[in-house]
Amino acid sequence: MFVTIFALMSFALSGMAIFAFVVAKAWDPHSYYWHSDVTWSVVYVPPSPSLEQQRINRARDKALSLYEGPMTAAFAAIAVATFVASLGLLFRKNWARLLIITVLAISILEVAWITWLFWSLRMLGASGYIEGFAMIVVLGLIAWKFRSPSTVSEFRNAPAQSVG
């Protein structure tokens, strides 16, 4: 039951993400996915910002320029991999179980990296750290469930598909 519900939810959400990427033309640097109209730096009202605040603003602007392209591509790749894995999970294909574990592991690393990046740029409050940690725990628990003996046996005992 867990696998089916997870697969259906993942199928729907990744399908919507792929649709949104295509409609927004996420590969185009002029699309709103690239935030060309947004900056991570802070606008200070007089008095002028301190040298430390100026240094942090420069670091935020540089991080944003390095972040957008690769992260947009990573989000799209994860959405496609999740979509494909979801279809395989519905048919209890073991490759799909392994793919979803891989996607979850990559997602854990991505959340940890983003949380660290925003922490280092002083862009997160306490709730941001808690949210990042909670996401890592939830993704880890889901990945662990896909490695559990009961879930693995579900894929080993799947009925063989006949061709023809």
Quickly count: other Cβ atoms within 10 Å of residue 18's Cβ: 16
Structural domain includes residue 78: yes
Residue 43 lies in a domain: no
* Average pLDDT rounded to a whole number, residues 112-133: 84
What global pTM score does this model have?
0.74
Q: What is the pLDDT of residues 71-81, one digit of tens each?
A: 777 788 899 99
Domain hosting 131: range is 2-35+53-156
Percent of the chain at pLDDT exceeding 90? 43
Measure the CA–CA gap between 137 and 157, rounded to whole angstroms.
29
Burial of 63 (0-12, 13-18, 19+ CB in 10 A): middle
Domain contains 42: no
Rounded to an integer, the average pLDDT of 44-55 is 78
Per the structure, how many domains does the chain have? 1
Q: What is the pLDDT of residue 12?
A: 96
Residue 38 neighbours by CB under 8 Å, 6+ apart: 64
